Amino acid sequence: MADPEDPVFRDLEQFVKTLGLSLVELAIRTKNGASQVQIVLHSPQGLGIDECSKAHRLLIPRLETLLGTENISVEVGSPGLERNLKYLRELELYSGKKAKLYLTGGTDWEAGLIESVTAEDLVFVTAQGPKTVAKASIQKAKLNDIS
């Protein structure tokens, strides 16, 4: 799990912050001069169709400028209830959410709640109580918001 360093990602990350959203994931594929862009956004209040549509309309001109093309298709969505986390930076976005962690040396997923996140670790509340987990020990993580 690493953080994206792409300059387009960084630009869009700042742009969506002005909308009160967080950029979770950006995928850009270009073939025969046409670009397909998939964007995953997050809001602590949740994202519905209206919020995704608004973001979509505002992101298209920005992407056209960044990518230097008008031949572009854009998909905007929310993370989903059981998203596999791809980047350590996502842990902070989902503070207060139910998740599953697979830790180094573990034999199974641990379910709990991400209570708080710092630069080096997080407090993960399981059925046995809260525990501090070093980010470096997280092999896999996913949201577990299905009740």
- Per-residue model confidence as pLDDT tens digits over 83-123: 899 888 889 999 999 999 999 998 999 999 999 999 999 99
User: Could you tell me the strand order of the sheet in which 34-42 lies?
Assistant: 22-31, 34-42, 72-77
| CA distance readout (Å), 117 to 7, 13, 85, 146 | 25, 19, 15, 22
Q: Could you give the percent of the chain with pLDDT greater than 70? A: 96
Copy the structure tokens of residue 52.
């995704």
Max intra-chain CA distance, the chain: 54
H/E element holding 88?
none
Residue 1 has pLDDT above 50, yes or no: no
Q: Environment class of residue 19 by beta-carbon count within 10 Å: exposed (0-12), middle (13-18) or buried (19+)?
A: middle
Q: Let me know: does 88 contact 3? Beta carbons within 8 Å.
A: yes
Residue 4 has pLDDT above 80, yes or no: no
| CA distance readout (Å), 129 to 37, 42, 112, 113, 116 | 41, 27, 9, 10, 14
pLDDT band for position 147 (cuts 50, 70, 90): low
Domains defined along the chain, listed by start? 7-77 (3.30.300.20), 90-143 (2.30.30.100)
Give the relative orientation of helices 7-17 and 49-67 as an angle to the nearest 10 degrees. Answer: 140
